[in-house]
Amino acid sequence: MAKAKHTIRIISGTHRSRLLPVLDIDGLRPTGDRVRETLFNWLQLSIAGKTILDVCAGTGALGFEAASRGAKQVTMIDNNHIVINQLKEIKSGFGFDNVDVVHGKAQQFLLGSSVKFDVVFIDPPFVDTLQNTLTEMIAPVINRGGYIYREAPLNSELNKLDKNWQLYRKKTFGQVKIELWKKSPIEN
């Protein structure tokens, strides 16, 4: 069983300052406080009451932050059973009734999903090449006016989205780049 190597905190909301354990698992890299604070400042009016999808959830930092900030429903997906067990323990311990934890591959979940989401977080392990594949698969399951957040290594090449999307915000933090894309509220 993997042990927690350190913790990160939930920044705001009902569970502000609660600590999330970060397991010592290869490829598990939590989104840092500064990055999460920037992202949730960008999304501040787009989280409460919304449906959120956190693919490649890992530590759950993004999904639990959204749940703490009043998201109506948060679905977290990961394919590592140790990570899933940890996410379920946190969900239960924190009393998050608005969080679903799904064990499986993001691609399979997306192919079988009839649910649409308002905000989707895409932050796979940096050693993975899933970023662009997931972006293409996720675009159809996002509600009009919704958002895709992508986090990737600074030197990676991220695909552009079609004319129904606008690059809303982007920023770099050291060797990490983040992007927030907004889907047009009307069909183009």
Domains recognised in the chain with CATH numbers? 4-183 (3.40.50.150)
pLDDT interval class at 158 (50, 70, 90): confident
Q: Who's near 183: CB < 8 A, 6+ residues apart?
A: 139, 142, 143, 144, 145, 146, 147, 148, 164, 165
Is residue 40 predicted with pLDDT exceeding 90? yes
Residue 11 has pLDDT above 60, yes or no: yes
